[in-house]
């Protein structure tokens, strides 16, 4: 299983027979290299979107059209993108599980907001934000999506027992590193934690020092853009 950071909250996950592009915001992402797009999308099978904000979904429609990739996302976004934009979507909702290339994807709760830019740039409702539990190749990966700490993490950790956590941890719009460390320590039993939604802009956290300090028994991996991580 191989995970590659695309900057911000974007990841390429190669698991089972699937190559998932998760929240792959590339156009306008200051962390993503201009010549990296072909490498990022090569062999991709699906798009997996946590919510509609532009720093997550900005490239979703273009990738769906140019690469022929179906978009797996919450029901409301699947209806909007399917009916209005005419792309292939796979709609599901929190508590629901779909199979993508042998990987089991369960949508779980996140506490954040969600909108999409329509009607001359005015934000419109984009359903609600979500996270994912992805099971395959003997692992369960928790992708938090944009979220703060929430009580739901208690049962989610106990029920799904993820061993890998990909946690939004940049602060300002999501948990910061200290809060992510607290959540990981209290609610989960991760072997590996990978932070995201940081370093993109000056207002976000620029390193994972506080996360590393808060999780001394956990392997914390600070990802580098387009550098694969073997899991």
Domain ranges (residues) in the chain: 2-220
Superfamily of domain 2-220: Ribonuclease Z/Hydroxyacylglutathione hydrolase-like (3.60.15.10)
Q: What is the pLDDT along the chain (231 residues), one digit of tens a residue?
A: 999 999 999 999 999 999 999 999 999 999 999 999 999 999 999 999 999 988 999 999 999 999 999 999 999 999 999 988 899 999 999 999 999 999 999 999 999 888 776 555 655 776 789 999 999 999 999 999 999 999 999 999 999 999 999 999 999 999 999 999 999 999 999 999 999 999 999 999 999 999 999 999 999 999 999 999 999
Chain mean position to CA 52: 12
pLDDT of residue 179: 98
**Nearest to residue 93, comparing CAs of 81, 112, 103, 79?**
79
pTM above 0.85, yes or no: yes
């Amino acid at each position: 299983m191989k995970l590659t950071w695309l900057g911000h909250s974007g990841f390429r996950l190669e698991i089972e027979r699937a190559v998932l592009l998760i929240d792959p915001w590339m156009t306008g992402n200051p962390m993503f290299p201009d010549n990296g797009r072909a490498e990022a999308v090569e062999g991709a099978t699906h798009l997996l979107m946590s919510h509609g904000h532009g720093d997550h979904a900005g490239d979703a429609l273009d990738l769906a059209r140019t690469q022929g990739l179906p978009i797996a996302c919450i029901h409301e976004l699947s209806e909007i993108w399917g009916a209005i934009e005419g792309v292939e979507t796979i709609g599901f909702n929190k508590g629901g599980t779909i199979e993508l290339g042998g990987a089991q994807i369960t949508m779980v709760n996140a506490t954040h907001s969600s909108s999409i830019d329509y009607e001359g740039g005015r934000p419109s409702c984009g359903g609600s934000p979500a996270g994912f539990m992805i099971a395959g190749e003997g692992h369960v990966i928790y992708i938090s999506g944009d979220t703060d700490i929430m009580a739901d993490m208690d049962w989610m950790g106990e029920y799904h027992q993820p061993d890998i956590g990909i946690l939004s941890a940049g602060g300002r719009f999501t948990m910061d590193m200290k809060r992510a460390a607290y959540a990981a320590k209290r609610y989960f039993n991760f072997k590996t934690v990978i932070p995201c939604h940081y370093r993109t802009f000056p207002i976000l956290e620029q390193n994972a020092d506080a996360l590393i300090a808060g999780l001394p028994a956990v392997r914390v991996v600070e990802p580098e853009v387009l550098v694969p991580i073997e899991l």
